[in-house]
Amino acid sequence: MPVSYPYGVTDFADKLNVLSVVWDIQRNDELSGSGDGRVWQAELAPPLWIGTVALQRGGNDAMKQVAALMRKLHGSQEALFLYDPLSKYPQSDPAGALLGASNVQVNSVAADRANLSLKGLPAGYVLTLGDKMQITYGSSPTRYAFLEVSETVTASEAGVAPLFGVFPHVPAGVGINANVGLLKPACKCIIMPGSHNPGTGGAMGTEGATFRVVQKK
């Protein structure tokens, strides 16, 4: 069947055997300061998630297939969904078994858009500082927010998590009943130009494969 974009999690992210990862933020700020240590910061655009991924040595055929998928993205032209391999599941639910098929949604968003509440969680479910989430919202086009939990909270018996801090701010288009993914939450990304190294192949396999991604809004 024809290749479709963006690559889904099962089409790409699940195929990667990750050796190491740096999952961080690229800030888009203007800074100025004075000699006494004062700093003024203006956010020119929302921060973007970035990832630096190194793959483990693998069989030549398997690594050749990963490289082919990367090349089919046509550089930075097409997008993919990539999760932080260290944050595939909430910390309190390492395999996602407790959450199961729960239909988690946005319950409310604070006026400052720095906090939100979720519903549809199992009773007593814990979201921990550092957990990640993907929120799907809008249409034509559908958009995706990738947020990090900024404080630990516990859902009520009704499955509602009280308002809690997230990073970065909740995008303006996210509202009540938007769907929230907590299992393999993925960020919509593109490959940073010139960052893909398919690795070096030899008799023992292919090693040294790396790439970098940046969030695509």
Encode pLDDT of 141-167 as tens digits.
999 999 999 999 999 999 999 999 999
- What is the pLDDT at residue 35? 65
Residue (of 143, 168, 174) closest to 50 by Cα position:
168
Domains and CATH numbers, the chain: 1-88+186-217 (3.30.200.190), 89-183 (2.40.30)
Which pTM value belongs to this model? 0.91
For the cut 90, the answer to whether the pLDDT of residue 194 exceeds it is yes
Encode pLDDT of 164-191 as tens digits.
999 999 999 999 999 999 999 999 999 9
User: Could you please report the per-residue DSSP string of 54-69?
Assistant: EEPPB-HHHHHHHHHH
